[in-house]
Amino acid sequence: MTYVKQMQRIVDEYRLEGLPWPTSAKNIADWAIGTGRWELPAAAIRRRCADDIASAMREEYMTDRKGRRVRLLHPAPLSSEGQTEMIWDDIRSAPREHMQMSFQHRRRGIVGDCRQMKVDVDSYNDAHPDAEPIQIVFDFTMDLAELEAADEAA
């Protein structure tokens, strides 16, 4: 069973126990740890540390010459010996190829998130035919323009 499936099973067990729902992931984690359903396997320690480091790197920003808040470190997928690994570099010194791969990878992630949101909204709307359908616009041009205008006004 994959780790994700194990986590999903813990959520299912939490709900089957009749514990408060809806709830937070922290509440489920407290219950899972307290009942011995979850502990960090030794093999997962390195992965967890790497994930935490990657999250911290995603949160490091700098201010560029025009006063924009810019993410400092960027990952790009690099294939080596049949495996893909995310390699991080600094926007100030990274080669163009690295940054282009990083931006393309991020864009694919955003598109994937939008696709899943569309599937979720469509499913919800289909399951609630008597309610006004929820409409989601996936053209972000105006959103970006508004955010840029607000940044310029600040």
25 and 53 in a common domain:
no
What pTM was estimated for this model as a whole?
A: 0.71
Cα separation, 151 vs 145, whole angstroms: 10
51 and 12 in a common domain:
no
Q: Tens of pLDDT along 28-52? A: 999 999 999 998 877 788 888 889 9
60 and 5 in a common domain:
no
Expressed as residue numbers, the domain containing 27 is 1-39
52 and 22 in a common domain:
no
How many domains does the chain divide into? Answer: 2
Query: 3-class SS at 40?
Result: coil
19 and 2 in a common domain:
yes
As given in the structure block, the two tokens for residue 121 are 């909204």
Q: Which stretch of DSSP H or E encloses residue 5?
A: helix 3-16
Q: Higher model confidence: residue 80 or residue 118?
A: 118
Q: Higher model confidence: residue 150 or residue 44?
A: 150
As given in the structure block, the two tokens for residue 36 are 């011995």
Count Cα atoms within 13 angstroms, Cβ side, for 35.
12
Structure confidence at residue 151 as a pLDDT band (50, 70, 90): confident
Which one, of 101, 92, 100, lies nearest residue 70 by Cα?
92
Q: Tens of pLDDT along 86-111? A: 999 999 999 999 999 999 999 999 99
